[in-house]
Chains A and B, each alone.
Chain A
Amino acid sequence: MTDIASTRPTSMRDLAAARKREERRTRAFLLAPAMAILIFAASGPLLIVLVYSFLTPGDYGGVVWEFSLKAWFNVFAERDFFTEEIELADAHLSIMWRSIKLSLMTTVICLIIGFPTAYFIATRPRGTRDFWMLLVIIPFWTNLLIRTFAIMELIRNEGTFNSFLVGIGVIDTPIQMMFTEFAVLVGMAYVYLPLMILPIYASMERFDFSLVEAGYDLYATRFQVLRRIILPLVKPGVVAGSILVFVPCLGAYVTPRVLGGGKNMMLGNFIELQFGQGRNWPLGAALALTLLVIVMVALIFYVRAVGREEVRGHG
């Protein structure tokens, strides 16, 4: 009896350990294809771009296999054509600045519109929430270009908005909205709004609204309930939504191209230009990598800032 009692748990433990090893092996095997795709598909092209940024541009596009730092130099600086003096590449920097500025503004606009929208949907009766979410998602099924043209139809000089204002006599000449930063902002906010609403809604749906009542019960005003109870608890959704809007905005191409025109170029358009008419692939590659760095730095700052607040908020 004692023998059985003492040997059985040991063999059971062995068995469990063996099963765990087996499980680990199976998991590694199942993960392998995904990992392979991620590694080759993500880092492969990136590696090519990195290499190209250190080469010399070919005359008709493409690259000549000759090492050069010129592209990286040109990202930030330029040599004056006549005096040969080195000065900051104002044009490039202003495009970068505009990209960052418009992306930040778009994120804020999406947050201001998206948060109440998500709150509204999350507080509807359970049965009708799907309907509201559908309304948010449907535009997403439409081609990006078509959605952008729809905005254009609204704001162009002969468009819906201006015709209406002129029609009711508020203005007599249409307001120029197309080909301005405003147009780019409206377009990007419209296009990326669902990306803000979805994650905020996801965390709001999990939010326990009896906590709001508890807040009111404990003398918190509406604003205090929002700031002290709702916001801290749906913050993961707000963070995710902000990242999901900010990142694609930085690299946006179609919307600034259609609504902003040539004057209001953003980084995405400028990069495309280098691979097209500019015939400067190394510069395009270097700019693309710069964009990547901007995104990463911005994300690190953002996540750090949010994390610090977390520590402070929860003492």
Chain B
Amino acid sequence: MIEIDRVTKVFGSAADAFRALDTVSVTIRQNEFFTLLGPSGCGKTTLLRVIAGFVDPTEGSVTLEGQDLLRLAPYERPVNTVFQSYALFPHMTVAQNIGFGLEMQGKPGEEVRRTVGEMLDLVRMSELADRRTSEISGGQQQRVALARALAPRPRVLLLDEPLSALDFKLRKDMQLELKRLQSETGITFVFVTHDQEEALTMSDRIAVMNAGAIRQIGSPRDIYDHPAERFVADFIGDTNFLEAELLTVEGERAEVRLASGREIAARAAEGGAGQGPVTVAVRPEHADLAPEGEGLLPGRLGDVVYFGTDTHFHVDLDAGGRFVVRRQNQPDQAEARGRGDRVSVRFGPGVGQVLRD
């Protein structure tokens, strides 16, 4: 278990001081696939480097199983990193790269050789053991970097956007491969990405970061279905934002009045506001079109965009703003509605998410 407690990192000083991490607190559980997700520059790498020991936090504490990590030098921490650029040693072979950590730990030669063999099998690189790292493809380099970091059996593996340099197909394969490795080794993975889809498919839990702070932590489903605030809802997936008025709130249950005057039950995020104007988020695929007069929000149909798997209906609401409804396509079902038709948007009680801000 890694406990990161109120960690702050300020780069530079005085006038050009920059707060890369701002009182970040998070607990990462044993054997978890934990993802740090956020836009570029939000501090993901910095947080990872704090755990690895390459960045000293300005304030806060980091412990692993109760042990204070900040007192340990990087080479004393039972933590290994898969670097974004892989950082493979160009003067060593694939096998020598993988064995380096074990060798530095002072493991006997026999054990090093055996573990390197196992690791080569694990990442399916046995045939290329004696190649230089410059003589293998990007995907293979990625696997070597992974094997090199896994070989010393760290308690925690840190992965900094390890898949971002790979092309689409390879990335999909490696996502599954990483999941497999994580469950086979039982090592805690802390995975950094700016790709929301990657985060949603791979993680046990996700921490969404923005501007040096963690905005929400939860399971992929939690984060997707119940974004706590506008940034999270906007960053992950597509979302419709509706202006509404919060009437009552009781734990997670809230009652809101939409701009059309209709009242409906919605979910409230923890620590949300009391009564008054709020924003309600609704995922496009959680809403549907209804004949005029039946739904919640009347409007006029704008663009209808066909995407193969689904169709997007852009509805210009009478109350102002645009609402997108996404509907999965069925075979040979022509769309009868067209631009300019009067329609109404509807969604069920509890679907709308009242945002914190």
Contacts and interface: CB of A to CB of B under 8 A. Distances in A.
Given A219-B101, A219-B105, A219-B152, A214 B73 contact: no
Nearest to A233: B91
Interface string A228-256: 11001100000000000000000000000
**Chain A: number of interface residues, binned into ranges:** 20 to 34
A177 interface: no
A295 B85 CA distance: 43
Interface string A205-219: 000101101111111
A244 B148 CA distance: 38
A314 to B, nearest CB: 6
Contacts of A314: 91-93
A211 B89 contact: yes
Contacts of A219: 75-76, 101, 104-105, 152
Contact of A210 (B85, B93, B105, B148): B85
Contact of B80 (A217, A228, A229, A315): A217
A214 B104 contact: no
Nearest to A231: B91
B14 interface: no
B81 interface: yes
Contacts of B11: none
B18 interface: no
A308 to B, nearest CB: 15
B235 interface: no
Given A211-B89, A313-B91, A314-B91, A218 B148 contact: yes
A221 interface: yes
A210 B83 CA distance: 9
Given A217-B81, A218-B100, A210 B91 contact: no
A218 to B, nearest CB: 4
A221 B76 CA distance: 9
A208 B104 CA distance: 20
B152 to A, nearest CB: 7
Contact of B54 (A208, A213, A221): A213
A49 B88 CA distance: 52
Given A218-B80, A219-B101, A213 B91 contact: no
A77 B92 CA distance: 51
A215 B53 CA distance: 13
A313 to B, nearest CB: 7
A175 interface: no
A213 to B, nearest CB: 6
Contacts of B100: 215, 218, 220, 228
Interface in B83-102: 83, 85, 87-93, 96, 100-101
A212 to B, nearest CB: 9
A43 interface: no
B109 to A, nearest CB: 12
A210 B96 contact: no
A290 B345 CA distance: 97
Nearest to A219: B104
Contacts of B268: none
Given A213-B74, A217-B75, A218-B101, 18 more contacts: A208-B85, A210-B85, A211-B87, A213-B83, A215-B104, A216-B54, A216-B74, A216-B75, A217-B52, A217-B74, A218-B148, A219-B152, A221-B75, A229-B89, A233-B91, A314-B92, A314-B93, A315-B93
23 contacts: A208-B85, A208-B87, A210-B85, A211-B89, A213-B54, A214-B81, A214-B88, A214-B89, A215-B100, A216-B53, A217-B52, A217-B80, A218-B80, A218-B100, A218-B101, A218-B148, A219-B105, A220-B75, A229-B89, A233-B90, A314-B91, A314-B92, A314-B93
Interface of B: 52-54, 73-76, 79-81, 83, 85, 87-93, 96, 100-101, 104-105, 148-149, 152
